[in-house]
Amino acid sequence: MPRGASPGEHRGGRKRGVPNKFSIARVERAIAEGRKQPPEELLRNAENCRAMAARYAPMQTNADTKQPEPNKGHDEERYGFWLAQERDALKAAAPYYAPRLTAIALQTSQLDRDKEARADPRVALLEMILQMRDRDELGQQRTITHSVIPAPNSNGHGDIIEAVAMKVVEEEDEDNGDGEAT
């Protein structure tokens, strides 16, 4: 292992996607000999298949009048075969010309969990308790005793939590049971 390299660390070398010297020489030799590269050959193959399919197509264009007319040599089976061959050649050539697109699903619940993980747990607990009280899942007296959480004042959150809890408790009015504040 080289000095200073940690396990799994990649240093130097050829970047991903860059051809090596042998591949470059092989391509240059093929071009010098007049041969085409695979993507060019696949496109030429697709063009030839399209021409053969046109030979068996149900309609043809008259060379003299430039009008479409029924094809006397129409053969549905051969026409379908050559169209399928063209489609296969184009499928094989597609990766050379366009990237493959994939669907990506966004999971917002994971984003929420990450956000909660970065937040102060005491603030998150206070918010959860206040929401439970708003839904009448907790009584007011019980909320007061459990929502004021003593916290160290090293970052100032302790004072904020106590102030928020006390303000919320002070703002609430007594309810006489008929839905109206007294």
For the chain, what are the domain ranges?
A: 21-97, 108-171
Percentage of the chain lying above the pLDDT 90 cut: 19
Amino acid at 65: T
Residue 45, both tokens: 């193959």
The two tokens of residue 60 are: 């043809």
Flag whether the pTM goes above 0.85.
Answer: no
- The tens digit of pLDDT for each residue in 2-27 reads 566 677 777 778 888 788 888 888 88
How many angstroms separate the CA atoms of 138 and 165, rounded? 14
Average pLDDT over the chain reads: 75
Q: Residue 100 gets which letter from DSSP?
A: P
What confidence score (pLDDT) does residue 80 get?
Answer: 93
- Check residue 146 and give its pLDDT: 44
Check whether 178 has a pLDDT greater than 60: yes
Interval 62-114: pLDDT, tens = 888 889 999 888 889 999 999 999 999 999 998 888 877 777 766 666 556 66
Show the tokens assigned to 99: 């990237």
The pLDDT, as a whole number, for residue 3 is 61
